[in-house]
Structure 1
């Protein structure tokens, strides 16, 4: 094997070898600035997300160390920022609560959370070996929108206790938490509410009026500064408490927990991969290599396995932090390496200051992040474009709210399967007309003024024809035939990529039924795969070349010649 081939093979598994040798000096400034800005955003965000998972705040920073470092070396995306996300955090919290049970001390959940990350990594690696990159498209966008909105509501409600100064048991459902709040209104700590309101104002207004300043960092700094000079305990405002100084120590996963964690780990792995791939594709830079979904499985898997050995919980590529990275001008994953270095410095030297942060500040950070998961505009757009998609989204949303977070993943998967089955089982079948003065054939239902041809019915269906949908396609064809009573039925096959054996046998039977009814079947614009199947079947002998056409226009001209009416058609 040549040196070039060897380098290419290594670069496939270690993409840093692909961009580092060609690194341009002009990129360095952009990567350094992007890494600094990303650290300013990721640091407070990661600490806030850790509280969603029911873990100590420093564990959120641990997720921005080993997982982010490993992905920066192995990931195929040059801009994806891999650390904690709000969705993965709430999923982690639910998994730990279900598998390990509630704990009065968040530190007790560190090793179980790291074990969960390890299992997530194992599942992602296995998926990579099995070439399951197609799973990136497994959950449809409407279903994912509804699922994330449900998560957003759950997270939002779970943080209300912190911003109201109320004590609410961890793991309480949306309805239970709402009930506790409504019955505890007289116990609200108003200084806590005031601090949370100020933090929210900073988080909402600063990006609007001074977008270049990281609002989350300003909010955290303001909270810590206030705590340093004012005795907040005296006002009943809780602080996050002591944070250990230093980097996370190496620790082995607790394999005794595998039995109780493997199922939620499977769902979290799917969510991590889906989120990460979507973010990587959305922020892919011009001229950058395409995102390799199977390689992303490998890179994310290794990142989570590394996190599992260094006290992190499951990690993934988040849209918000990736957007910050991309908008700050990141050119390569060097920006993420800069972020990792800055987070490490924070853990080494600034932990005592972070311990002064009020819980209300973190709670407000989480509220803003949770609100961002509820994309009202997406729901409105679905309602305007296709209401069925809105129904899928609302079902996924309801699954999370009513059944719970982990159960919501199962609901989302089942709904995605259902939408796939519905689409496969209901392929569109419609009549065609010709746009006047052209050779363009389009749906007659959308363009009733288009030309039609007496005795000739042009029809089109879309998608692969196979055993699950062929009966419905033929039933729909008969409906159109009975409405038109043609002499010839021309089936436009342009949008049929393939015909499965069962479907082919059904088409042969359909042609025979048409013949018995005195109707002739013609085919036009067959794709190579479909043409191959027909050529090797008895249908080809029945049709002959004179009943199979290159396109619809050629078929219409043949029909006109057959009837001696070409002048009328022209």
Structure 2
């Protein structure tokens, strides 16, 4: 039994860092440190690249990989999630600040970015206070499976040009595939050699020395090769110059709020969706699922704090989280280590990190991301439910063709439409009794000897019956009654957890119609909520206690007793 006081319990809720620090294991320390350092090798170049995509100085990417990362590690609920920025957020940021500061200088851009990032953080924090995290519940496991498969494809395709040392204008998925194929004859042999050598080192170390820090060794080899052999002079591109220094304090311009808040709302939605989807995608067995409302608060605080230190909008990053998890991250300490490496880079290590070949970075990302695509998971879903398999495929195709957010939103919409169809058309089973037992089960060719009672029709509807599906339920029951022409129809309501007013009204009218034609209605197994609704209605007064039973066994006994009385 926990001995924590209520004050301590509340503190852990508001300061989640206390939760993972309390439960921390010494065996996690080394893999967390290795994962944090390795993830930094992915985070830093990508964050700087995304800063340039947003039209901002490269050091803004470093600021985004530092302050939001620290704040999330203190307040976030996902253990492996690595927080900085993403291509989607960068593109939206570019569009937003371009509207309010077209052609502006560096100071104007940084001020507009700080204002935008602060608004994103405020919107996320308000959403947490309003408990809007439930929207994450619309992301099902099959959708997550498709999401992971899709991002694996996107990440690998995004990194292949760096692996081959080619350049082309990025576009749609098919454009990028065709452009990559067309550019292959112009690939840099030296870059290809560096990239595939890195892949070979990673695979060999993972196979023969699985406990070694393979990514760190591979990255170190890449940096060492550049320093020793002067590979840059032979066409091997490197990360390049990184400005040094601590992030400056930036004051947001409140006069820009009116112009920026619509874009901030869209960026906040994308940040949260990508963050919660990524956090859930990398949960391991035995770990708690990320709490949606806490994730809203954590990303909100991360953006609010980051805005004051020159950060651009931040959220969970897929490729860096994949590396972080695959290398061995067990807790948020890995994110703090990444933040420390970022700080060290800004102050001391910029020249060294700047020597890292792009091909080495691409190789690390590819090796640790390709495993996200697991055909066995798709086969497992297909073996159980074809509908959910379709959801997974839609998520995969959507992410690949339309991007992370649009793809997963389309998958969610497809899921909801399919669920709506299922809800609108609930099953109605005809029941029979297994001989010698009190087990009643749906009619099946596998059980031809199950007992049935002439004149008694046993039916079991399932699910919530309400205005959307009440008519369909009635349309399924009517032909069964006309086919068997029973004296009594028994509705087993054990699987009906709610009976809405419109459905109850239709049931009342149906009972009256069949009673006038000589067919009696009995109800069985009403839940307390459904029983209360029926009792308050005219149907309850019509049926009385005589035609409502606790279970099917009682109803059948009453029917058999009625038959005996008639036979006397």
Whether the 8 Å CA contact 2:195–2:363 is kept in 1: the answer is yes
Partner of 2:265: 262
Partner of 2:234: 235
Whether the 8 Å CA contact 1:59–1:313 is kept in 2: the answer is no
Could you tell me how far 1:137 is from its partner in structure 2? 0.8
Q: Distance in 1 between matches of 2:112 and 2:201?
A: 35
Alignment map for 1:424-443 (pairs within 5 Å): 424-443=423-442
The 1:164–1:116 alpha-carbon spacing in structure 2 relative to 1, beyond 3 Å, is farther
Partner of 2:205: 206
Partner of 1:81, secondary structure, is coil
The 1:321–1:422 alpha-carbon spacing in structure 2 relative to 1, beyond 3 Å, is farther
Give the total of aligned pairs.
545
Whether the 8 Å CA contact 1:52–1:155 is kept in 2: the answer is no
The 1:52–1:346 alpha-carbon spacing in structure 2 relative to 1, beyond 3 Å, is closer
Alignment map for 1:436-475 (pairs within 5 Å): 436-445=435-444, 447-449=446-448, 451-455=450-454, 456-475=456-475
Partner of 2:411: 412
Could you tell me how far 1:115 is from its partner in structure 2? 6.3
Could you tell me how far 1:239 is from its partner in structure 2? 0.8
Residue 47 (1) aligns with residue 44 (2): yes
TM-score by length of structure 2 reads 0.83
Q: Deviations over 1:86-107 (max 9, x none)?
A: xx73433453566568x9xxx9
Alignment map for 1:465-504 (pairs within 5 Å): 465-504=465-504
Partner of 1:526, secondary structure, is coil
Whether the 8 Å CA contact 2:149–2:396 is kept in 1: the answer is yes
The 1:341–1:398 alpha-carbon spacing in structure 2 relative to 1, beyond 3 Å, is closer
Partner of 1:275, secondary structure, is helix
Moved more, 337-346 or 295-304: 337-346
The 1:531–1:234 alpha-carbon spacing in structure 2 relative to 1, beyond 3 Å, is same
Could you tell me how far 1:62 is from its partner in structure 2? 4.6
Residue 141 (1) aligns with residue 141 (2): yes
Residue 71 (1) aligns with residue 68 (2): no
Partner of 1:92: 89
Whether the 8 Å CA contact 2:432–2:441 is kept in 1: the answer is yes
Q: Deviations over 1:462-508 (max 9, x none)?
A: 32222112212222223444454433322222222211111211221
Moved more, 418-427 or 29-38: 29-38
Q: Distance in 1 between matches of 2:541 and 2:428?
A: 26
Q: Deviations over 1:520-552 (max 9, x none)?
A: 222222112111111111111122212211122
Partner of 2:431, secondary structure, is strand
Whether the 8 Å CA contact 1:522–1:548 is kept in 2: the answer is yes
Q: Deviations over 1:225-257 (max 9, x none)?
A: 111111212331111111233443333567555
The 1:471–1:259 alpha-carbon spacing in structure 2 relative to 1, beyond 3 Å, is same
Partner of 1:423: 422
Q: Distance in 1 between matches of 2:537 and 2:382?
A: 45
Q: Distance in 2 between matches of 1:480 and 1:235?
A: 80
Partner of 1:568: none
Partner of 1:249, secondary structure, is coil
Q: Deviations over 1:103-160 (max 9, x none)?
A: 9xxx999888776654543332222122123222122333343344333323322222
Moved more, 412-421 or 544-553: 412-421
